[in-house]
Structure 1
């Protein structure tokens, strides 16, 4: 998915000020039901609240607020990342999200919203790691392994920036979920995974001393919501995003989820 990364961000949702529904100057969807889908496993964009078991995060808040401003309702669904784009393309869901990078190749299959976030990937390692300190020194040691989820941003950046473009490298270990790759890092089955800064910081805060970041940011991706080709939701969603950026809502969401929120069990 050329998705996953966080940092450079530029939007996130929070407890929002009251806005008419639909907001002045925005399209009125007249109570339309929008079926939204996410993986619910990509902190802090979408994940399960450990206290309530409910899905929360930046993307949940952002889409709920977009729907409110457009006089629409949201029905939330979850699906695995590897089937999401195909499901949205086939019309099973109206809008999809999972930190999905905007690429020309994907534009052949689906439509995107305007970018809602810009991100970089960082090397998350175990807290006692001393064998390497950046992408160059990692790449130079053939014994070191990187974990990734196939088709994701962390996969593509790992291949391009750590493995010299070799997507068949035996040093690349693939996992079905990002959580599985993180657990593999924790127990020593791999030596690094790539994450956006906010996600990495959240995991470091949740387990002090277990993980740390080394090196500089890698990759540079823009994230967008995805839609079936020709969807009539693209323009209204873009209008709502523009309004949320202009009135400071996106900045408040960024602060809420990428700086203020802390994982607690």
Structure 2
């Protein structure tokens, strides 16, 4: 009886998943141009062969199958991404973009597909500070950040004095550039979300580490021009993939199993 009950439950679950999948919109094979930065492992980045890979690429590949659309990828710097999507230059953007009310004034967001926590990344041999308070207390220490990002505002308001012009914050165009500046000793910490930070630490062979307690949580979403007809289908696919375990499998692949070279 227990085995029969298990089979019945499995069959019901499969039927429910199938029904959910059948209910997803069909975009008729249309081409969607998605812009990204390719500098945010393991969400999206270039591997040692220059191939663009990552959690978000896998997620979009699956979503495109479920919603029946084709993808064309373009690359752009972070500070240009939101303005470009807002102006309709691209259909969609992705690069671990934190959902905020301020950004919602310019663009539409999908439902969150991931939640992460901000944390400090430092060189592996760093001993001068161990958390935000000890970092802030040493006026000689510098933070690398991208202007307009959640880590930038976290640096300003959660680590330093609330002054957005604080000279201890060194602004750079890409997240990858901030990490390279950290490795080179040009800055002393980079604030990142836990997911990207773990990716860089795992690839550093001890050259980088994470310190201190998380400085806040953030939800990531895909972005669209205001009023885009893509938001609702994307949301439906996101909910389906949460429900059927697809996102859990992607998390395991990219955050537990994948080893960056």
Give the alignment's TM-score, normalised by structure 2: 0.89
Counterparts of 1:28 and 1:171 in 2: how far apart (Å)? 50
Q: How does 1:167-178 map to 2 (within 5 A)?
A: 167-178=164-175
Identify the residue that residue 51 of structure 2 maps to in structure 1. 54
Identify the residue that residue 42 of structure 2 maps to in structure 1. 44
Identify the residue that residue 184 of structure 1 maps to in structure 2. 181
- Shifted more, 191-200 versus 142-151: the winner is 191-200
Give the counterpart of 2:79 among 75, 78, 82.
Answer: 82
| Gapped regions of structure 2 (runs ≥ 5) | 1-16
Give the counterpart of 1:33 among 22, 31, 34.
Answer: 31
Aligned length: 244
Measured against aligned partners, the alpha-carbon deviations of 1:147-206 in whole angstroms (never above 9, x if no partner) come to 111111211111111112111111111111112211111121111111222322222222
- Which structure dedicates a bigger proportion of its chain to helix? 2
* Greater relative CO (CA pairs within 8 A, separation 6+): 1
Counterparts of 2:206 and 2:238 in 1: how far apart (Å)? 38
Give the counterpart of 1:248 among 205, 228, 245.
Answer: 245
SS at match of 1:202: helix
Identify the residue that residue 130 of structure 1 maps to in structure 2. 127
SS at match of 1:99: strand
Q: How does 1:180-219 map to 2 (within 5 A)?
A: 180-219=177-216
Counterparts of 2:173 and 2:126 in 1: how far apart (Å)? 25
Measured against aligned partners, the alpha-carbon deviations of 1:86-144 in whole angstroms (never above 9, x if no partner) come to 11112211111111111111111111111111111111111121111110111111111
Identify the residue that residue 64 of structure 2 maps to in structure 1. 67
| Gapped regions of structure 1 (runs ≥ 5) | 1-18
Q: Does the Cα contact within 8 Å between 2:78 and 2:173 map onto a contact in 1?
A: no
Counterparts of 1:221 and 1:205 in 2: how far apart (Å)? 22
SS at match of 1:73: strand
SS at match of 1:227: strand
Q: How does 1:80-159 map to 2 (within 5 A)?
A: 80-159=77-156
Counterparts of 2:28 and 2:199 in 1: how far apart (Å)? 38
Moved over 6 A (4+): none
SS at match of 2:224: strand
The structure whose Rg is larger is: 2
Counterparts of 1:151 and 1:166 in 2: how far apart (Å)? 14
Counterparts of 2:223 and 2:259 in 1: how far apart (Å)? 28
Q: CA RMSD for the aligned pairs?
A: 1.6
Q: Does the Cα contact within 8 Å between 2:21 and 2:240 map onto a contact in 1?
A: no
